[in-house]
Amino acid sequence: MPNQTLHVTAGPPSASRSWISSWFSFRITPAVGQRYVSFFVRLRGRMSAHTNPKLAAIDDALTEVEPILEEFGLAHGFTLTRSHEHSYNVPYRKLHRESGVIRHEIGLIISSDMPERLERGFFPDIPCTMYIAAHDRQTHMRYGTRIFEAVPFSALRSSLQGYLMEAERKLATCTLGFIAEHGTRDPLA
């Protein structure tokens, strides 16, 4: 792996390439490539799906922990989703996977009330909460619990991996029988 490189070559525009890729040519080694990926993740975050500048600032900050979420998701079969303009409880990041008839979800949400989010926007100690949910799609039963509550965003980067592992351990116990015994009927079903 360390000797692998990614060659990106460009020439005149063609039907198979976008106009942007037509004008760039560079060579990326894995070490340098990670810096480019980090840059583009940060750049993507600056183009938040939220039109409100305060919510967009919070959404941009959440992109800082996306690499940790994406790496965990890939290793454990989850897909990362981001909030969008008309989502509930924005901004957020969610990891979800289908496991037979059970849908597992790990959510990272902002704990402060919406009026505070709209007034203050992002600040380093904005409180975050992580939850898990397991949905039995056949019986429309749902089980959920919190992994942590009101942890300052500034503390997440160092502790997020451990919290994700705890979430995965708790989701492993969410069998159909466990959801039937401890869950509640999904009100949206």
Q: What is the pLDDT of residue 90?
A: 74
Determine the Cα–Cα distance for residues 119 and 77; give it in Å rounded to an integer: 37
Q: Which residue has the higher pLDDT, 79 or 114?
A: 79
Is residue 91 within 8 A of residue 50, CB to CB? The reply is yes
Is residue 80 within 8 A of residue 62, CB to CB? The reply is no
User: What are residue 27's DSSP bridge partners?
Assistant: 7
Helix (H, G, I), strand (E, B) or coil at 31: helix
H-helix or E-strand containing 144? strand 141-152
Q: Which residues, other chains included, contact 31 with Cβ-Cβ below 8 Å and sequence gap of 6+?
A: none
Q: How many helices (H) and strands (E) does the chain have?
A: 6, 8
Report the chain's mean pLDDT, rounded to a whole number. 79
Could you give the angle at the alpha carbon of 13 between the alpha carbons of 9 and 14, nearest 5°? Answer: 100
Query: Which pLDDT band, with edges at 50, 70 and 90, does 128 fall under?
Result: very high
Of 26-35, 44-53, 84-93, the range with the lowest mean pLDDT is 26-35
Query: Which pLDDT band, with edges at 50, 70 and 90, does 188 fall under?
Result: confident
Q: Which residue has the higher pLDDT, 166 or 12?
A: 166
Q: What is the pLDDT of residue 51?
A: 77
Taking the model in full, what pTM does it have?
A: 0.72
Helix (H, G, I), strand (E, B) or coil at 58: helix
Q: What is the pLDDT of residue 157?
A: 86
